[in-house]
Amino acid sequence: MEAPRLFVVKKDGRREQYNRDKILSGLRRACEKRPVSDAQMEEIVSGLERSMFAGGESEVQSALVGEKLMEALKAVDPVAYIRFASVYRSFRDVESFQAELAELLSK
């Protein structure tokens, strides 16, 4: 049985086929030298995939993928979350980065 094909729609409108390895690579960079195991990263990606494929859609917005990954990382390791968010959200300046840190610390 063939797995359903899923495309990720990027911010600029381009469509790319979903690539689990690309997601894991980004998580590994964010979690480098952090106490996050490969098993935890695999579970984050598996949870993402369950939620995406459960909807039965053939396309998903990259923003949704990023938000779900950040939500999962925030629960596992706040430093990895900030690393991932800094790349994903492309903070424009130090103030926007500080605002994200302040929100994280307030919780």
In whole angstroms, what is the distance from residue 7 CA to residue 10 CA?
9
Reported confidence tier of residue 57, pLDDT bands at 50, 70, 90: confident
pLDDT of res. 50: 92
- Please check whether residue 2 lies inside any domain of the structure: no
CB-based contact 61:44 (threshold 8 Å)? no
DSSP per-residue string spanning 13-64: S-EEE--HHHHHHHHHHHTTTSS--HHHHHHHHHHHHHHHHHTT-SEEEHHH
d(CA 79, CA 81): 5
1 domain-assigned: no
Residue 36 domain-assigned? yes
**Residue-wise pLDDT tens digits, 5-42:** 899 999 899 999 999 999 999 999 999 999 999 999 99
Its pTM stands at 0.80
Domain membership of residue 26 (yes or no) is yes
Domain contains 35: yes
Higher pLDDT, 6 or 97: 6
Q: What is the mean pLDDT of the chain?
A: 88
Q: Is residue 100 part of a domain?
A: yes
| C-alpha–C-alpha distance, residues 102 and 100, integer Å | 5
At residue 101, the pLDDT reads 76
- Structural domain count, the chain: 1
In a domain, 18, yes or no: yes
Q: What is the mean pLDDT of residues 93-99?
A: 78
Name the amino acid, one letter, at 6.
L
What is the predicted pLDDT for the residue at 100?
A: 75
Mean pLDDT in residue range 92-98: 76
Domain that holds residue 55: 7-106
Domain membership flag for residue 85: yes
Which amino acid, residue 29? R
**pLDDT at residue 3, as a whole number:** 56
